[in-house]
Amino acid sequence: MFLDQVKVWLRAGDGGDGASTFRREAHVPRGGPDGGDGGRGGTIHLRVDPGQTTLRDFRYHHHFRATPGGRGTGAKRHGKAGDDLILDVPPGTAVYDDASGELLADLVATGQSVVAAHGGRGGLGNTHFATSTHQAPKHAQKGEPGEERWVRLELRLIADIGLVGLPNAGKSTLLAALTAARPKIADYPFTTLEPNLGVLELPDGRRPTIADVPGLIEGASEGAGLGHAFLRHIERTRVLLHVVDGASRDPAWDWGVIRDELAAHDPALLAKPTLAVFNKLDLAMAAEAWPAFRAARQRDGIPAAAIAAANGDGIEGLIAAVAELLPSAEELAAPPEPAGVVVHRIEPLDEPVTVTREPDGAFRIHSRRLERLADRIDFSIDESVQRFQRDLERFGADAELRRAGVDDGDTVRIGGHELEWAAAPWEPAR
């Protein structure tokens, strides 16, 4: 089964911890700080690979981790950076943050990529914290945790031309007649279970792509049949070829039901340049029904072509009509609308710090920035704890806690850390 929507879990690499070490030399009794920085954690990127057409690779494998950065060590040796992880996705993959539903990127162009989970920064070694008045700092930063999130990948195939129609109308037969694609063709509905792509070589050198999607049925826009998931693939096509089985009992009804489903999915689909393709003209029923069908399309103002996809009759005329509807070669070379976007998020710097009470009476500090700082504190080093205390004052958390009525011995939480409040100094709860 074709997969056009998957959820994957991404965990970027943690930054390595900075080292807190001091120089040791034969004749120097107390050397200066020489702790190296931790390496940055590996980042996870999603990148467009034009060779892929489905998200199938993510079916069984949906947890991905990038490697952590190495720890800093003495003699100012920095930790090694973690390896980045690059996950290839097909063109037309929209990337959403699963928790917020926010669109992170719409990856359409070859080589386009997005950072889906940032690696944590490495912690700074204690060399960075030496000052003229404090020459032997024990404080070193811990590495920043790597970003962790669920993302939803949603594929909208990118093709210039979309084939739509009821099951068994002859869409796959037409794809095979127009391109080198060899889709499965059979005399039963829902032969096509996954979209097939082919390239049409036009005499003028243009090479539009054609997508043959599973047949649509009445109610497809509400989920009936297989077509539901595939309707979105035709949103981005430039031209629709609407294939009708001319030998069916009622080609006019067949035409109408698909138009209704397109409208129900997205009314803009009806405005897309469309060619009505009346197929199976080799059968007597079709030949009889063609004049009425043609007249009806003339009234709608939609061009129509009659063909027999199975033996190639009328294909030349159909190609000429398609060529008319397609944009210029330059436009075809650009990604179809909407153009891909990569959303870059910028975190606000001056987010206010707030304090709330938890059900057990503990106080909780809310501030992304302080939460991240807390993650980088080694609470077993007094000096680091004191630094964090100063950060709390600097960002106003201290004042907020007092306003909320914090008292000696109260529990204060921030991110995943739990501390015990004392007027000063702070101590981690045991």
Ligand X SMILES: Nc1nc2c(ncn2[C@@H]2O[C@H](COP(=O)(O)OP(=O)(O)OP(=O)(O)O)[C@@H](O)[C@H]2O)c(=O)[nH]1
- Residues engaged in binding ligand X (CB under 6 A): 165, 167-173, 185-187, 189-192, 214-215, 279-280, 282-283, 308-310
Indicate the residue among 60 and 188 with the shorter CB distance to ligand X: 188
**190 contact, one of Mg ion, ligand X, none, CB 5-8 Å limit per kind:** ligand X
CA 289 → CA 273, 283, 286, 294, 321, distances in Å? 24, 10, 5, 9, 21
The secondary structure element, H or E, covering residue 355 is strand 354-357
Nearer to ligand X, 52 or 191 (CB): 191
Do 411 and 421 meet the contact criterion of CB atoms below 8 Å apart?
yes
Give the interface segment with Mg ion, choosing from 29-37, 164-172, 311-319, 383-391 (CB under 5 A).
Answer: 164-172
At residue 56, the 3 state secondary structure works out as helix
**Please, what is the minimum distance in Å from the beta carbon of residue 289 to ligand X?**
14
Amino acid symbol at 214: P
Nearer to ligand X, 181 or 341 (CB): 181
Contact in structure between 426 and 401 (CB atoms under 8 Å): no
Contacted entry of ligand X, Mg ion, none for residue 8, CB cut-off 5 to 8 Å set by kind:
none
Closest-approach residue to ligand X (CB):
215
**Contact code string over 118-157 relative to Mg ion, x by CB under 5 A:** ----------------------------------------
**Beta-sheet pairing, 44-48 with 113-117:** antiparallel
Distance CA 37, CA 129 (A): 12
Are the beta carbons of 165 and 278 closer than 8 angstroms? no
Q: Phi and psi (nearest 5°) for 305? A: -135, 140
Q: Choose the one of ligand X, Mg ion, none that binds residue 279, judging by a C-beta under 5 to 8 angstroms depending on kind.
A: ligand X
Residue ranges with strand state E in 143-259: 148-155, 161-165, 196-199, 209-212, 239-245
Which CB atom, from 196 or from 367, has the smaller least distance to ligand X?
Answer: 196
Q: Can you tell me the distance from the alpha carbon of 367 to that of 413, in angstroms, rounded to the nearest whole number?
A: 11
Helices (H), ranges, 85-214: 171-178
Of 130 and 185, the one with the shorter C-beta distance to ligand X is 185
Smaller CB separation from ligand X, 171 or 233: 171
Q: Beta strand pairing status for 85-89 and 113-117?
A: unpaired
Task: Give the nearest distance from C-beta 168 to Mg ion in angstroms.
Answer: 8
Q: Least distance to ligand X from the beta carbon of 70, Å?
A: 54
Distance CA 347, CA 180 (A): 49
CB of 170 to ligand X, least distance (A): 3
Q: Which is nearer to Mg ion, 94 or 163 (CB)?
A: 163
244 contact, one of ligand X, Mg ion, none, CB 5-8 Å limit per kind: none
Q: Which does 93 bind (CB under 5 to 8 A by kind): Mg ion, ligand X, none?
A: none
Least distance to Mg ion from the beta carbon of 312, Å? 18
Q: Which is nearer to ligand X, 16 or 170 (CB)?
A: 170
Rg (alpha carbons) of the chain, rounded to whole number: 31
3-state secondary structure of 39: coil
CB of 172 to Mg ion, least distance (A): 3
Q: Residue 347 Cβ, how far from ligand X at the closest point, in Å? A: 48
Site for Mg ion in 168-197 (CB under 5 A): 171-172, 191-192
Instruction: Determine contact, residues 66/41, Cβ cutoff 8 Å.
Output: yes
Site for Mg ion, rule CB under 5 A: 171-172, 191-192
